[in-house]
């Protein structure tokens, strides 16, 4: 047991050092690719809190990304905030939004909650579109450009995303061991039994969704500053959330490192291979989703824990048939 | 002292009165049996006490405080725990994690860290003799073990009243004996007041201090086990002539 822990610590340390020195060695393109991988990993790990631990399929979670991005843009342009202050306020607003909406819609279970979150995402996007005089509407909006050399700027965003990713993983690790984590998993497994065991399910779900929203909101703010231009179609894009779901399920929903692992794998492949086949991209994503659900419903992390083997895969298929 | 009391408790599902103006009470320290034919309203009554269903009529008190209208989680935290007729485990968790949920969110759970709760869970897992299966997944253990796990979870909640909904259904003779011993220990050693819903009459007769009989949602008897088996209404509604004759023959 001890040796196993030591091994994962060493791997973690090597990865940490590797990612710290990478911007000093790699060229600009790779820095941007890895930054974008970090971003997807954060969104996926944040989604994992509500969808992985609590089992609530928040397909519209990307609404918080949009809220964070637009809050940052508006505060920088209309009030003159620093970008980072805008991003933090964006995170807080996203969390408040999650609490206010969570009170009614977290009473819904299963598919109904998923549908409600999709509706919220669409409705919020529509508000941004219609309020063109303030938000810039469908034409999008340009943020103040950073006053620094472009290489330094990309390196800075890289480290901010990296830091945010580490923060999000730590939040996941903390939740996994906490009272909240046990409550969320109990809710995921059997909500009625959870309530009969003394768990205040609505409260726990709202807290989980608010944490998820806060992290996703800040990430949206960093994204807005990074890209300097946002439009509703990009920051409220439901496909980001769908991709995050595939990443989470591939890596292992409800685990600490699984979602991050899934995000790295899919985003790396997506960037290097599928980028060249834009139209078939979605088809492949869908096929991965199906393969994951049938072959490794508990994700890659689970597969590695039990030692990777063909018989394990076959057993999963057999279980599906039952 | 009366721990739990119901006055005129009623529950209607549409035109069906599943529980109809039932008065009942639970003395501190006793084991009360709740028996009756299928559909008599036994489980519904437990669901009314635990707040799963709202009452149509009547009131329920726990230690003098009205508890009807409270959410299930709130009732549990006051010290009323239950097991389910069909065990309701958390399938994605191990036996130990299932039990720890009780230790974390039951009556004594508030403020308990996950670490101390795990130790508490281990205590109850040992109490029901499941230590060998501590780390097993729920779907790897049989129904008898699952029922004991459910009992350990309920005990980990630190209840004053424990309601056991057919813990012996589906068990073999040996497991029934073991479960009976466990229930007696819970009552005598841990001083927990118990309500048991049970069809295994042997268990009802030897465990219960008093028995309430429900039939079509109404209470038709409330007496000591010895008197219950001689009650004509109870024989007609539930026990049947054969059981009554066998009892007489045994005496």
Q: Rounded to an integer, what distance in angstroms lies between the CA atom of residue A66 and that of residue A233?
A: 9
pLDDT of residue B56: 94
* Mean of pLDDT values over B76-101: 92
CB contacts, 8 Å: B77 with chain A: 198
- Given a cut of 90, whether residue A163 has pLDDT beyond it is yes
Tokens of A180: 């909240």
CB contacts, 8 Å: A179 with chain B: 104-105, 112-114
Residue with tokens 């509703």: A232
Q: How many CB atoms lie within 10 A of CB A268?
A: 13
**Does A178 contact chain B (CB < 8 Å)?**
yes
pLDDT of residue B235: 84
Tens of pLDDT, residue by residue over A249-301, are 999 999 999 999 999 988 888 777 766 676 777 777 778 878 888 887 777 77
Q: Do B89 and A185 lie within an 8 Å CB cutoff?
A: no
Tens of pLDDT, residue by residue over B86-98, are 889 999 899 999 9
pLDDT of residue A308: 60
Tokens of A315: 């057993």
* Mean of pLDDT values over B71-93: 92
- Given a cut of 60, whether residue B104 has pLDDT beyond it is yes
CB contacts, 8 Å: B93 with chain A: 185-186, 189
CA angle B16, B18, B24 (to 5 degrees): 145
Residue with tokens 């920088």: A76
CB contacts, 8 Å: B84 with chain A: 193, 196
- CATH superfamily, domain B1-79+161-172+192-251, is P-loop containing nucleotide triphosphate hydrolases (3.40.50.300)
Q: Do A198 and B109 lie within an 8 Å CB cutoff?
A: yes
Buried b / exposed e over A155-178, threshold 16 CB at 10 Å, is bebbebbbebbeebbebbeebbee
Q: Do B101 and A194 lie within an 8 Å CB cutoff?
A: yes
Spatial CA neighbour of A166 closest among A294, A59, A15: A15
**Does B84 contact chain A (CB < 8 Å)?**
yes
pTM: 0.89
User: How distant is the Cα of B104 from the closest Cα of chain A, in angstroms?
Assistant: 7
Give start and end residues of each alpha helix (H) in chain A: 2-25, 28-47, 62-74, 83-105, 111-130, 132-135, 150-177, 179-189, 191-196, 201-227, 232-235, 238-251, 258-272, 281-295, 300-305, 310-321
With beta carbons less than 8 A apart as the criterion, state whether B163 and B46 touch.
yes
As for the ipTM of the complex, it is: 0.88
**Does A180 contact chain B (CB < 8 Å)?**
no
pLDDT of residue A1: 42
Q: Rounded to an integer, what distance in angstroms lies between the CA atom of residue B183 and that of residue B207?
A: 8
Tell me where in chain B the CATH 3.40.50.300 domain(s) lie: 1-79+161-172+192-251
Residues 6 or more apart whose CB falls under 8 angstroms from that of A176 comprise A53, A255, A256
**Does B106 contact chain A (CB < 8 Å)?**
yes
- Given a cut of 70, whether residue A320 has pLDDT beyond it is no
* Mean of pLDDT values over B28-40: 92
pLDDT of residue B71: 92
**Does B93 contact chain A (CB < 8 Å)?**
yes
pLDDT of residue B111: 83
Q: What is the DSSP letter of A230?
A: E
Average predicted confidence (pLDDT) for chain B: 91
Tens of pLDDT, residue by residue over A27-81, are 888 899 999 999 999 999 999 999 999 999 998 999 999 999 999 999 999 999 9
């Amino acid at each position: 047991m001890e040796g196993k822990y030591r091994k994962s610590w060493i791997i973690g340390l090597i990865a940490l050092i590797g990612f710290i020195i990478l911007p000093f060695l790699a060229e600009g393109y790779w820095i941007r690719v890895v930054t974008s991988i970090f971003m997807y990993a954060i969104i996926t790990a944040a989604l994992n809190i509500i969808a992985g631990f609590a089992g609530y399929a928040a397909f519209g979670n990307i609404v918080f990304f949009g809220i964070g991005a637009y809050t940052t843009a508006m505060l920088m342009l209309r009030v003159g905030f620093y970008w980072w202050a805008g991003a933090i306020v964006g995170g807080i607003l996203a969390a408040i939004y999650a609490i206010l909406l969570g009170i009614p819609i977290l009473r819904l279970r299963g598919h109904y909650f998923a549908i409600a979150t999709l509706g919220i995402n669409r409705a919020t996007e529509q508000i941004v579109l219609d309020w063109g005089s303030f938000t810039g509407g469908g034409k999008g909006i340009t943020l103040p450009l950073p006053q620094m050399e472009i290489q330094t700027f990309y390196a800075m965003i890289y480290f901010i995303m990296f830091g945010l990713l580490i923060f999000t993983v730590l939040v996941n690790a903390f939740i996994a061991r906490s009272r909240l984590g046990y409550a969320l998993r109990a809710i995921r497994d059997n909500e009625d039994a959870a309530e009969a065991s003394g768990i205040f399910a609505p409260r726990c779900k709202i807290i989980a969704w608010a944490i998820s929203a806060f992290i996703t909101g800040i990430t949206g703010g960093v994204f807005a500053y990074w890209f300097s231009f946002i439009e509703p179609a990009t920051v409220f894009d439901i496909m980001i959330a769908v991709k995050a779901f595939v990443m989470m399920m591939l890596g292992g929903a409800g685990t600490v490192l699984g979602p991050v692992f899934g995000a790295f794998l899919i985003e790396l492949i997506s960037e290097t291979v599928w980028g060249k086949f834009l139209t078939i991209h979605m088809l492949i994503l869908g096929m991965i989703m199906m393969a994951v659900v049938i072959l490794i419903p508990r994700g890659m992390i689970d597969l590695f824990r039990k030692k990777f083997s063909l018989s394990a895969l076959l057993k999963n298929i057999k279980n599906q048939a039952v | 002292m009366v721990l739990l009391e119901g006055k005129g408790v009623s529950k209607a599902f549409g035109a069906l009165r599943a529980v109809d103006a039932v008065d009942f009470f639970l003395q501190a320290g006793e084991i009360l049996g709740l028996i009756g034919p299928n559909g008599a309203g036994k489980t519904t009554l437990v669901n009314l006490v635990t707040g799963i269903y709202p009452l149509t009529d009547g009131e329920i008190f726990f230690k003098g405080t009205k508890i009807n209208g409270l959410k299930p989680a709130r009732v549990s935290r006051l010290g009323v725990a239950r097991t389910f007729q069909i065990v309701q485990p958390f399938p994605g968790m191990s036996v130990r994690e299932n039990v720890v949920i009780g230790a974390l969110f039951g009556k004594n759970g508030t403020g308990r860290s996950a670490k101390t709760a795990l130790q508490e869970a281990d205590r109850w897992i040992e109490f029901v003799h499941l230590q060998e299966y501590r780390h097993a997944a729920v779907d790897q253990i049989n129904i008898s073990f699952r029922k004991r796990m459910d009992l350990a979870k309920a005990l980990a909640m630190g209840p004053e009243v424990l309601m056991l909904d057919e813990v012996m259904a589906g068990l073999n003779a040996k497991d029934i004996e073991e479960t009976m011993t466990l229930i007696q220990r819970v009552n005598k050693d841990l001083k927990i007041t118990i309500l048991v819903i049970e069809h295994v009459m042997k268990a009802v007769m030897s465990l219960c201090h008093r028995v309430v009989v429900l039939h079509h949602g109404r209470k038709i008897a409330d007496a000591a086990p010895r008197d219950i088996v001689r009650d004509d209404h109870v024989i007609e509604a539930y026990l049947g002539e054969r059981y009554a004759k066998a009892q007489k023959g045994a005496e």
